[in-house]
Amino acid sequence: MTAATTTFRWREPSILPGFGLALGITVTALSLIVLIPLAALFLKAASAGPADIWAVASSPRTLAALKLSFTAALFAALVNAVFGLILAWVLVRYDFPGRRLIDAAVDLPFALPTAVAGISLAAIYAPNGWVGSLLAPLAFKISIPFTDLSFGFDGKVAYTPLGVMVALIFIGLPFVVRTVQPVLEELQSDVEEAAALLGASRSRTIFRVVLPQVLPALMTGSILAFARAVGEYGSVIFIAGNVPMVSEIAPLLIVIRLEQFDYAGAAVVATMMLLISFTLILGGNLIQARARRRFGDV
């Protein structure tokens, strides 16, 4: 912003008209549609009183729902970070038949309504679905000796936390690809040539030279995918099974509290979700800003 240095000025002079009208419309609409309603949410949550807030926030069902939403979103973001990066790389670097078609298809989750995606994923991964029926025989369970830790796969995806992840992977993928892609396109080829001539193997060039330059964008994209996944509702509820404490996501818990006319309870869960999400997004932006300061125009 280039505000005046000597005297305070609300805005720089301009011969163009309409500043007042345009800003007025914007701020009014923003306040009525977004800001005041969000403020009402925080107000409602706060009005519940510390004891009630604590009761809602610390209830096992709330914690289980938040834990599922955030861990499933995190896991989905990690899967998308890996495959989104590979996909972006393939789309930018390689030429193969159908490349442009695939490039366009990446945006499908942006365009396909979440409820449509939800019932479709549920049908595919249900035990009698196309993929679900293939996975059913693959059930396994691994226990780690001398501990009570064990993990396994009982052959089911739909109606389990795995199903939640599948839906979150679906909706998050384009965020990673579309954030990383332009950065990959703008990478200068001479840097990779320099590394090769200095004797670096191709994998060393990629991991030490190329990926560090892509990392800030990859993090941004993953955080966007994560933030979207935490709040996602439509594509998840059909495949999740919605078993309380097991596969019930936080947004669904909000809906359930609302249906029980527990407005304060809904507001508290919603506020917790928003605060955690905003903190994560802010953190991501700070990392990005720091990288830019140090490495120049990354």
Of the listed pieces 27-35, 49-57, 137-145, 156-164, which binds another protein according to CB under 8 A? 27-35
30 counts as binding another protein under rule CB under 8 A: yes
Q: CB-based burial of residue 216 (10 Å sphere; 0-12 exposed, 13-18 middle, 19+ buried)?
A: buried
Q: Please, are residues 76 and 225 in contact by the beta-carbon 8 Å criterion? A: yes
Please give the residues from 74 up to 133 whose contact with another protein meets the rule CB under 8 A.
83, 86-87, 89-91, 93-94, 96, 102, 104-121, 123-124, 130-131
Please give the residues from 225 up to 244 whose contact with another protein meets the rule CB under 8 A.
227-228, 230-234, 238
Of the listed pieces 34-42, 50-58, 137-145, 147-155, which binds another protein according to CB under 8 A? 34-42
Minimum Å distance from CB 205 to another protein? 8
Q: Phi first, then psi: what are they for 140, rounded to 5°?
A: -150, 165
Minimum Å distance from CB 139 to another protein? 19
- Rank residues 27 and 246 by Cβ distance to another protein and give the closer one: 27
Minimum Å distance from CB 44 to another protein? 5
What's the rounded Cα separation, in Å, for the pair 88 and 99?
A: 11
Which member of 132, 161, 251, 265 binds another protein (CB under 8 A)?
Answer: 251
Q: CB-based burial of residue 158 (10 Å sphere; 0-12 exposed, 13-18 middle, 19+ buried)?
A: buried
Q: Closest Cα to residue 298, out of 179, 174, 173?
A: 179
- Rank residues 143 and 187 by Cβ distance to another protein and give the closer one: 187
Q: Please, are residues 266 and 258 in contact by the beta-carbon 8 Å criterion? A: yes
* Count of residues interacting with another protein (CB under 8 A): 123
* Cβ count near 136 (within 10 Å): 15
Q: Closest Cα to residue 110, out of 163, 70, 170?
A: 170
278 counts as binding another protein under rule CB under 8 A: yes
What's the rounded Cα separation, in Å, for the pair 254 and 246?
A: 16
Of the listed pieces 54-62, 137-145, 152-160, 205-213, which binds another protein according to CB under 8 A? 205-213
Minimum Å distance from CB 72 to another protein? 14
- Rank residues 143 and 176 by Cβ distance to another protein and give the closer one: 176
CA atoms within 13 A on the CB side of 240: 28
Minimum Å distance from CB 11 to another protein? 3
70 counts as binding another protein under rule CB under 8 A: no
Please list the residues that pair with 150 across neighbouring strands: 143
38 counts as binding another protein under rule CB under 8 A: yes
What's the rounded Cα separation, in Å, for the pair 240 and 229?
A: 14
27 counts as binding another protein under rule CB under 8 A: yes
Of the listed pieces 50-58, 59-67, 140-148, 246-254, which binds another protein according to CB under 8 A? 246-254
Please give the residues from 159 up to 198 whose contact with another protein meets the rule CB under 8 A.
166, 169-170, 173-175, 178-179, 182, 188-198
DSSP category for residue 158: T
Q: Closest Cα to residue 189, out of 53, 92, 65?
A: 92
